[in-house]
A and B are shown apart, each in its own frame.
Chain A
Amino acid sequence: MKRIFTLIALSILVGGSSARAQESAASAALLRKVDSLVAFMDTDVSAEYRIEKRDPGGSTSITVAAMFRRDRTNQFLILILEPVSDKGKGYLKEGDNLWLYDPVGKSFTFTSAKERFQNSSFRNSDFNRFNFSGDYRAVANSREQLGKFSCTVLNLEARNDRVSFPKVKLWISDDGLVRKMEDYSLSGQLMRTTAIPSYQKVGSRWLPLSMVIVDHLKFRSIGGKMEYERTTVTISNPSLNKLPDSTYTKEYLEKVSR
């Protein structure tokens, strides 16, 4: 009798861990799919980003920037077009290095991908493609309806300490696109919620059409209602035209900033 109980317990254990392993493998596969759908590994991608930041109960500021990206070599170049006061300012990413170019002082300074872009909730690193499968592992998953999208919800934990957010929660629709993302600090506090309601197809890949980012650290109670800083990112004029290697150089950034 004792042996029978032991066998039952063992089979439950083995079965449970096997189910967890399958679940984990499925989650990892889903993350790889998410990454592959938005990665342009065989060509360059360029687009215009319009970033509108609205302070809680306050003013609105708009930044327009041209983005040139080469995922294959982990490079991008961002050139600010508006506002006029920041026109010509640019960011150049080469591998792990990110440079900020100031056209007034004609100087490059080293900056961090983790910095806020133009003091908005959009971070410099958000110009990068997703790399969830490399940087995170799923620790839990579930199903949830998000508006019209039926989604798999993945709770992710960072595999390495290079990423800014140690914990992330993703809502992935059945077509493999991220529809909502919550970023958490190490202590587990929700810092940022990003909604990506729509995508645009560029070649065989996808690029968000618009994103809404809510900053949970910047909020104010207005008329008894909590208002958060909200940043809306609209991406337009996407192109897959191949760009010369010289695009991702300091010299090019200096030239186009004039």
Chain B
Amino acid sequence: MTFFLAFRNLLLQRKRYSVIAAAIVVGFALITVISGVTDGALTTVKAKAARYFAGHISVTGYSPDKPQGISDPDLLVALLRGDVQEVRTVSKRTVYYRQDASLFFGGESVRQRRLVGIDFDGEAEELRGMKFGSGGIDAMLGDAGRNGILISSTAAGLLQARVGDDVQLFLTTDSGQYNTATLVVKGVFEETSLFGFVAYLRNADLNPLLGRDETAATDIAVYAKNGASLDRLGLDVRDALAASVAVMPVLASKEDRRDALAGGLDGETLAVMTLNAHLAQITDILDAFSLVSYFVLVVFVIIVMVGILNTYRVLVYERTKEIGTMRALGMSRASVVGLFVIEAALLAGTASLAGLAFGTIALRLIGLIDFSVIAAAGMFTEGGRLGYYLGSRSTIVNLAAMVAAVMIAAFGPARGAGRIRPVDAMRSNG
């Protein structure tokens, strides 16, 4: 009954509520856009980083006075495939960590921050998310990928190279000698951020150029199943390997790894790092952005709460006789308080849902904008477009927070309404 009355009152008083409803709509649309963009940016960064580093969990081999490398990568792959739950893909990689690799074409050259040798047949499904301007992953599968290379749109632009062109790759072997190879561009992926100064080729092609065996690896890339906790999985991977080989303690950041290496190694030791550890600095930036955004939104919500408070004070005053009549007809004080609070909750809920709809539309519109002209945005965009992610959990939390804030604001005036005595209400001019 109270709910029905609250709903009816909301409809009858809709003009009075319209301004405050509009404020809630705008506020919730803003919350939706900000959390959608922030979560989307983080999702995009993580997807790119998983390709750039080695999966969601990377396992890298370090030895004293030697370049990175794992002496028996097949053993580690077997251990991880057999012993660890929540693992989707395990694949060997050879990463060229020295930053002197260059690509040459048509008189131009571009340095690459790293070269990544991949077992494309084993890892192709994980790389499907890459956005290609031309060519693609499929061209690297099987023998067709032999002496092929995937370069970024940044590198392709600087070199003026296209799919099918022969580029010269220059690098140094593990012992420091110059080496070169002629490779065919098999794909140009859209990337303008720091993740763009990387080129992907078959590890069977990269290893001999470094003076290594074709089957060698510097890293094992571990991809987690959807929804798996990376920190938990990192620990599981470490535990699974620690039974057979030397592994560094849990590493929370690159600084931890640097400190572990500075302490000296007795022999080959593995470093297990989660994507969160690789991205500690980037996630810090995004967290700071989220914090500032939410601070602004908290201020906005407080303004909405003050608006609700004032609106309800006026409402209670104007509806004193109505309240008196309901009390005279036997409605309890609690029911009167409940009536106003439910009214506020319905208002907040409906307006927030409208805000969610508008926010989603705004996110879709933002997704149509090409941000590729802004170099700094490259890190957070895929093919120049800003992706968004609306998690059901965060949406429900946001909705609940907004409704709760409005109900709290309405509670004071509602309690005042509950205290009105019928006799006083009938005497009043309200």
Do these two chains interact? yes
| A residues apposed to B, CB below 8 Å | 55-58, 114-115, 158, 161-166, 183, 185-187, 189, 191, 217-221, 227, 229
User: CB distance A186 to B104 under 8 Å?
Assistant: no
Q: Are A185 and B178 in contact (CB under 8 A)?
A: yes
Assess the A191–B176 pair: CB atoms within 8 A.
no
The answer to whether the Cβ of B177 comes within 8 Å of any Cβ in the partner chain is yes
Q: How far is the CA of A219 from the CA of B105 in the complex (A)?
A: 8
A186–B179 CB distance below 8 A: yes
- Please report which residues of chain B, range 67-118, place their CB below 8 angstroms from some CB of chain A when the two chains form the complex: 100, 104, 106-109
Minimum CB–CB distance for A73 against chain B, Å = 23
Best-buried of A162, A191, A217, A220 by chain B (most CB within 10 Å) = A217
Residues of B within 8 A of A163 (CB): 177
The residues of B that contact A158 with a CB separation of less than 8 Å are: 177
B108-138 CB mask vs A (1 if < 8 Å, else 0) is 1100000000000000000000000000000
Which of A57, A58, A161 interacts with B176 by CB under 8 Å?
A: A161
CB < 8 Å neighbour of B104 from A55, A58, A217, A227: A217
Tell me whether A186 and B211 are in contact (CB under 8 A): yes
B63 on interface, CB distance cutoff 8 Å: no
Interface centre among A115, A165, A186, A189 (most CB of B within 10 A): A186
The answer, yes or no, to whether B215 is at the interface (CB within 8 Å) is: no
CB–CB A218/B109 < 8 A: yes
Are A165 and B178 in touch, CB under 8 angstroms? yes
**Chain B residues positioned under 8 Å from A185 (CB to CB):** 170, 177-180
B188 part of interface (Cβ distance < 8 Å): no
25 pairs from A and B in contact (CB 8 Å cutoff): A55-B107, A56-B107, A114-B178, A158-B177, A161-B173, A162-B176, A163-B177, A164-B178, A165-B177, A166-B179, A185-B177, A186-B173, A186-B177, A186-B178, A186-B179, A186-B209, A187-B179, A187-B209, A189-B180, A189-B182, A191-B178, A219-B107, A220-B106, A220-B107, A227-B107
| Contacting residues, chain A, for B107 (C-beta < 8 A) | 55-58, 218-220, 227, 229
What separation, in Å, do the CA atoms of A20 and B179 have in the docked complex? Answer: 29
Q: Which residues from A are CB-within-8-Å of B179?
A: 166, 185-187
A interface SS class:
loop
**Residues of B participating in the A interface, judged by any CB pair closer than 8 Å:** 100, 104, 106-109, 168, 170, 172-173, 175-182, 209, 211
Report how far A114 CA is from B179 CA in the complex, Å. Answer: 13
> Are A187 and B172 interface neighbours, CB within 8 A?
no
Instruction: Point out the residues of chain B lying under 8 angstroms from A115, CB to CB.
Output: 100
Closest to B171 in A: A185
Residue of B108, B109, B168, B177 most packed against chain A (CB within 10 A): B177
Whether A187 pairs with B109 at a CB distance below 8 angstroms is no
Most A Cβ at <10 Å: residue of B104, B180, B181, B209: B180
Closest Cβ of chain A: how far from B62's Cβ, in Å?
20
Q: Is the CB of B176 within 8 A of A166?
A: no
Name the distance in Å between A117's Cβ and chain B's nearest Cβ.
15
Which chain A residues border B172 with CB–CB below 8 Å? Answer: 114
Cα(A229)–Cα(B176), bound, Å: 24
Q: Once bound together, how far apart are the Cα atoms of A54 and B10, in whole Å? A: 79
CA A182 to CA B245, docked complex, whole Å = 46
The answer for the CA separation of A55 and B168 in the assembled complex, in Å, is 18
CB–CB A221/B106 < 8 A: yes
Residues of chain A within 8 A of B209, CB atoms compared = 186-187
| B108 CB contacts on chain A under 8 angstroms | 220
**Chain A residues within 8 Å of B178, by CB:** 114, 164-166, 183, 185-186, 191
Chain B residues with Cβ under 8 A from A227's Cβ? Answer: 107
Residues in A whose Cβ lies below 8 Å from that of B109 = 217-218
**Sample of 14 more A-B contacts, CB < 8 Å, known A164-B178, A186-B209, A217-B170:** A55-B107, A56-B107, A114-B176, A114-B178, A164-B177, A165-B177, A166-B177, A185-B179, A186-B177, A186-B179, A187-B181, A191-B178, A217-B104, A218-B107
A218 to B176, alpha carbons, bound, how many Å?
A: 21
Decide: A217 and B168 in contact? CB cutoff 8 A.
yes
B176 partner residues in chain A, CB cutoff 8 A? 114, 161-162, 164
A191 touches B180 (CB 8 A): yes
Report how far A165 CA is from B176 CA in the complex, Å.
Answer: 9
| Contact (A161, B177) CB under 8 Å given A114-B172, A187-B209 | yes
Shortest Cβ distance from B177 into A: residue: A166
Residue on A nearest B107 in the bound complex, by CB: A220
Chain A residue, CB-CB nearest to B210: A186
User: With the chains together, A114 CA to B413 CA distance in Å?
Assistant: 78
CB-CB nearest in chain A for B179: A186
Alpha-carbon distance A164/B170, docked complex (angstroms): 12
Closest 7 CB pairs of A and B: A220-B107, A161-B175, A185-B180, A186-B179, A189-B180, A56-B107, A217-B104
Among B170, B172, B178, B209, the one with the most A-chain Cβ atoms within 10 Å of its Cβ is: B178
Cα separation A91 to B80 with both chains bound (whole Å) = 48
A142 to B410, CA, bound (A): 99
